[in-house]
């Protein structure tokens, strides 16, 4: 799938059904797959999921390799907002989910390579609508003007053979990098506020998958 900033399918023509998919809006991702069933707390105070782990801003920054200034700006502009808990009043702090931190790291990599912000916004919407299994096997490729979703090595090769300068992000690799980083940092139980040291997100994600079966 292809991303364009104005939500159109302009630029490089879309490829075959079996080829790399150029992203061009969040509706595409929603049509191709259902979002995962990860429970999330609404900013206004909906009941959090029992045992759900969130990560405060400084922890999310450390795992994603970004500054707190970037984190704050992206949250305020709606690029990457915390899905567990927003800072909605005095004394509250944003809490980011594991998926949020993965997305933060991907955004950082795209920005570092000069991908247009409008395209990154649409990529973020697509990532948020993707299930956990989809994310683990997904590769996002970009030539700077367009972002493609590839789900097989053949699709990656097809793009590379186009002769354009292509930058790729293997989402599964980013996933594991963030997983390893967060396992060395502190999380927070959303329902109790208890600090959890050395929490491995893989344990929580495995439990959610099992509940969904």
| Cα 161 from Cα 158, distance rounded (Å) | 5
Helix (H) or strand (E) holding 150: strand 147-150
Strand ranges inside the chain, DSSP E: 2-3, 21-22, 53-56, 95-96, 139-142, 147-150, 167-170, 186-189, 195-197
| Cα 208 from Cα 189, distance rounded (Å) | 15
What is the pLDDT, as a whole number, of residue 180? 92
Burial 167-195 (b: 16+ CB within 10 A, else e): bebbbeebbeebbebbbebebbbbeeeee
Positions in the chain whose pLDDT score sits under 50? 1-17, 25-50, 213
In DSSP terms, 131 is beta-bridged to: none
What is the pLDDT, as a whole number, of residue 113? 86
């Amino acid at each position: 799938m292809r991303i364009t900033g104005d939500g159109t399918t302009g630029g490089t023509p879309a490829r075959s059904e079996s080829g790399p998919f150029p992203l061009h809006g969040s509706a595409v991702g929603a049509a191709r797959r259902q979002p995962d069933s990860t429970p999330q707390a609404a900013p206004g105070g909906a009941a959090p999921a029992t045992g759900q782990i969130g990560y405060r801003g400084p922890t999310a920054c450390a795992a994603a390799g970004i500054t707190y200034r970037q984190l704050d700006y992206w949250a305020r502009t709606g690029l990457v907002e915390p899905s567990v808990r927003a800072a909605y009043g005095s004394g509250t702090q944003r809490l980011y989910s594991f998926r949020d931190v993965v997305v933060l790291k991907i955004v950082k990599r795209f920005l570092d390579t000069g991908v247009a912000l409008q395209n990154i916004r649409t990529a973020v919407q697509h990532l948020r609508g993707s299930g956990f299994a989809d994310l683990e096997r997904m590769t996002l490729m970009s030539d700077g003007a367009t972002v493609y979703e590839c789900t097989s090595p053949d699709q990656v090769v097809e793009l590379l053979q186009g002769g354009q300068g292509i930058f790729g992000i293997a989402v599964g690799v980013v996933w594991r990098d963030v997983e390893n980083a967060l396992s060395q940092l502190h999380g927070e139980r959303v329902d109790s506020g208890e600090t959890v040291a050395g929490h491995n997100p893989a344990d929580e994600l495995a439990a959610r998958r099992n509940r969904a079966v």
